[in-house]
Chain A
């Protein structure tokens, strides 16, 4: 631990910076020489004290920071440790508790962006860590105290999706006293759990345990249940969302007693989706017996009546309660909510493309969802397990696992529930029809949860044969419609030809085919597998990167009922925390206008994705005004303003420029200066670190909230200082966390490319990359590519770019200089 330095070094009046270099056990300390970094930090101007500690985020670690602030009168704190996306709130709180403004904290990411990605080059990692600390100290010098504004929070919640996760979340919030709007696309809540027969490992009847919750939702005075409804638009920000929900009409009024007289009269038939297409329903129907609401509904796509023209009124005539109303129309609900929980569920994989299994060619090859419906007493065969080809009971049933999962031919991930679902299914068969021969063909059996291993054991005790080795193909005897599975039993090392008269494909789950719609509306991120992305996989599993929006259930990834319910309650709790106080503080990174410099040109207002800048006043008095409450803090306005009249708090031009200058202090011609946006590319770089993807150590990352903040000034400064390559990275177009701010980034970079070309510079030295939070591999690849470019850049080229980006006239700002160069 370096003692507070008393040697003579340059000292800015009043600045006393404390630097903490974290070992994080061996995570950082095993690669970076933290002591050396601390000693180096101690040598920097204005650093009063620099220490290295084992676990800075731990209680003792935080206590030390607080004690040092008081004892050494520190007025800036730099913590060099893990990613700020993880612990910035932790250290801000600690600093705040010691009486220092929380915004006087800066972090250097020497773990995800350093020790974890340069595991085999300790020297380079240590040198890089020193640079990152120097950059953090440079910025810390220029930090100013901020006050967070407080916005009121609407104490109402919106839950999207009426499956068990949506139901649980709605009940939790409603019981806590909040008003909840529950939006469900189909005619009834219940989701997948309503379709299942029994649940594992308890073998409970699924709908029996779900139905009470469903009816509680239906009659809860705090829950407004909107079925046949979909989210149409979302505006606003955390605590203050304005939502439009479109509700399609049932054409049946509340007077419906569910008697069912109408159904017998309806001439129209459609496949029954609830029965996985195994049975039909009429044009007027109830989704299933226990539906909530229990009012019937008319499927207008099937109905013979359209556009108000009544050609068939058989149901109307049959109804003795006069509750059919063809004149109903779409209804738009306008809701103001403080929190939104997304629980829109999943789809099941369709195995038709895997032609070797004969699904849809061989009638007796079915999916596990179809099996659920067959074996369900409320299903198309009243619970008798029958072969679709002839209605007989099967004598030999084979289950195939991992269909549509763990494969590059379909979905790469494991769907987590299919093994246990099959084990439950085989036990059901053995329970009802013990003479049936049952075999399960698997690669691995995943029985990871509570009670799962015991259920697996029960299945084996019942004589179910577990054969390790999926069949290469299934062939059918076209006369009997029996099937033969041809494969290798890997544990015995023999080829088998297994006869079966029914085959169940244990299909995986996948994201809903239209999950992109919700994702775009709410500005959420998708993981590589298409499920919606949580804010942090371990510590914030139900939060999303968007404040105020939470996830619950299979929309976030394959999981069973217990995990869905757990997540739903977690999401409800997070929403509760948000709404409980009735107000929430907004991070103090909003924009502010310097009226003296503002000319009222309106460029900032034009680019603001949230329409949070207004122009007020007339003529020479026209000035831009920021609506702070709805400013999301992207900083695009600050990058666009040619007069430097609008600044982003806590991400000022001077602060960012100081980071650029500190990064390029030594050997800039070997460096890549990378600007990364907090939500996507910085997170992607974090993910590369978490996954231990290795890449060259030549990169120095500067974080902005949005790539839109990266002004031409910063890029120019990096080149002026001699950087070899500059990388500007952000979210993919269309996925920008600030709606479309990255479009401005793209325009800026394209303009700069043209100018560089005209100026005889290699435009390749300015790289533009769209990298999502899940694309760690892409980030690593881009850095590797950039390092190749660095190796080829000549000293002459570096000199040329230094000259090109120098302000030509004294007193001329870099921005105006760019304008002058424009031909």
Chain B
């Protein structure tokens, strides 16, 4: 529990009276099978983070922040979900696509493949892609414990 609460103030979350304007606005809840921010928040408050960190639907959040915009109690829902996903990641519960792109960013400093990109760029009169100090990026990722998280499996 404490690992979540270092990121957000829990007392404020208890203001939730389940009006569900959040889930009612959530794009993920619109199209995918997820309990939605309300149920995730309430489960977390009363049953603890373990009740939700095993569920893949936690990762459906697009961080669009519409829920926070409309919440009458001004709860920082996305911050809570981010914290929960951080905890889920520590336990190895990361969707494959996310794991792959995060790993790529940490190792190459970019989130996209750069094969033959420079040829296209020259066509538009642009100089080749900039050189990124990949060692720095990788070292920072390593020192902040990223690789333990993406390597671990549930």
Residues of A participating in the B interface, judged by any CB pair closer than 8 Å: 356, 402, 406-410, 443-444, 469-473, 486-488, 490, 493, 495
**Cα of A495 to Cα of B73 in the assembled complex, Å:** 21
Q: CB distance A443 to B23 under 8 Å?
A: no
Give bound CA distance, A472 to B74, whole Å. Answer: 14
Report if B24 contacts A (CB, 8 A): yes
Query: B17 near A488 (CB under 8 angstroms)?
Result: no
Residues 6-37 of B contacting A (Cβ, < 8 Å):
17-26, 29-30, 35-36
Q: Which residues of B contact A495 (CB under 8 A)?
A: 23-24, 29-30, 36
Given A488-B38, A495-B29, check contact A470 B20 (CB 8 Å): yes
Q: Which residues of B contact A407 (CB under 8 A)?
A: 72-73
Interfacial residues of chain B within 28-60, with CB under 8 A of chain A in the complex: 29-30, 35-36, 38-39
Known: A443-B18, A472-B66. A488 touches B73 (CB 8 A): no
Nearest A residue to B23 via CB reads A488
Does B70 belong to the interface (CB within 8 Å)?
A: yes
Q: Measured between alpha carbons, how far is A809 from B18 in the docked complex, in Å?
A: 70
For A470, the chain B residues whose CB sits under 8 A away are 19-21, 24
Docked-complex contact A490 and B38, CB < 8 angstroms:
yes
Instruction: State in angstroms the CA–CA spacing of A470 and B25 once bound together.
Output: 10
- In the assembled complex, which residues on chain B have CB atoms less than 8 Å from the CB atom of A356? 25, 70
Residue pairs across A and B with CB atoms within 8 Å: the count is 63
User: Known: A472-B25, A472-B26. Is A490-B70 also a contact (CB below 8 A)?
Assistant: no
The distance in angstroms between the C-alpha atoms of A87 and B13, with both chains bound, is 39
Since A472-B66, A488-B36, A495-B24 are in contact, a sample of 16 more A-B pairs with Cβ atoms closer than 8 Å, ordered by chain A residue number, is A356-B70, A402-B19, A406-B17, A406-B72, A469-B19, A470-B19, A470-B24, A472-B22, A472-B70, A473-B70, A487-B21, A488-B20, A488-B23, A488-B24, A490-B38, A495-B30
Chain A residues in 8 Å Cβ range of B26: 472
Closest residue on chain A to residue B73 by CB atoms: A408
With A408-B72, A471-B24: A443-B39 Cβ-Cβ less than 8 Å: no
In chain A, what residue has the closest Cβ to B72?
A407
CB–CB A471/B72 < 8 A: no
How would residues 62 to 73 of chain B score, 1 for a CB under 8 Å from any chain A CB and 0 otherwise? 000010001011
What range describes how many residues of B lie at the interface? 20 to 34
State in angstroms the CA–CA spacing of A488 and B72 once bound together: 15
Contact residues in A for B18 (Cβ distance below 8 Å):
443, 490
Once the chains are docked, how many angstroms separate the CA of A469 from the CA of B21? 7
Q: How far is the CA of A495 from the CA of B33 in the complex (A)?
A: 10
CA of A443 to CA of B29, assembled, Å? 19
Which of B23, B36, B38, B74 contacts A409 (CB under 8 A)? B74
Chain B residues closer than 8 Å to A408, beta-carbon distance: 72-74
With known contacts A488-B38, A493-B39, A495-B30, A469–B20 Cβ distance under 8 A: yes
5 pairs of residues in contact across A and B, judged by CB atoms under 8 Å: A470-B19, A470-B20, A471-B21, A472-B70, A490-B18
Chain B residues closer than 8 Å to A410, beta-carbon distance? 72
Question: Could you tell me if A443 and B19 are in contact, using CB atoms closer than 8 angstroms?
Answer: yes
Instruction: Give the residues in chain B near A486, CB-CB below 8 Å.
Output: 24-25, 30
Nearest residue, chain A, Cβ from B66: A472
Contact A469 B72 (CB under 8 A): no
Distance in angstroms between the alpha carbons of A488 and B22 in the assembled complex: 9
With A472-B66, A488-B38 given, is the CB distance from A402 to B20 under 8 Å? Answer: no
**Given known contacts A488-B36, A488-B38, A469 and B24 CB-to-CB distance under 8 angstroms:** yes
Query: Which residues from A are CB-within-8-Å of B73?
Result: 407-408
A406 to B71, CA, bound (A): 11
For B20, the chain A residues whose CB sits under 8 A away are 469-470, 487-488, 490
Question: Using Cβ atoms and an 8 Å threshold, which residues of chain A touch B30?
Answer: 486, 495
Residues of A close to B19: CB separation below 8 A: 402, 443, 469-470
Q: Give, as a whole number of angstroms, the nearest-CB distance from B46 to chain A.
A: 15
B23, B26, B73 interface centre (most CB from chain A within 10 Å): B23
- Least Cβ–Cβ distance between A781 and chain B, in angstroms: 15
B22: which A residues are within 8 A, CB to CB?
Answer: 472
Nearest residue (CB) in B for A405 is B72
* Chain A residue with Cβ nearest B39: A493
Q: How far is the CA of A409 from the CA of B70 in the complex (A)?
A: 9
> In the complex, A495 Cα to B36 Cα: how many Å?
10
In the bound complex, how far is the Cα of B70 from the Cα of A486, in angstroms?
13
Contacts of B38 in A (CB 8 A): 488, 490
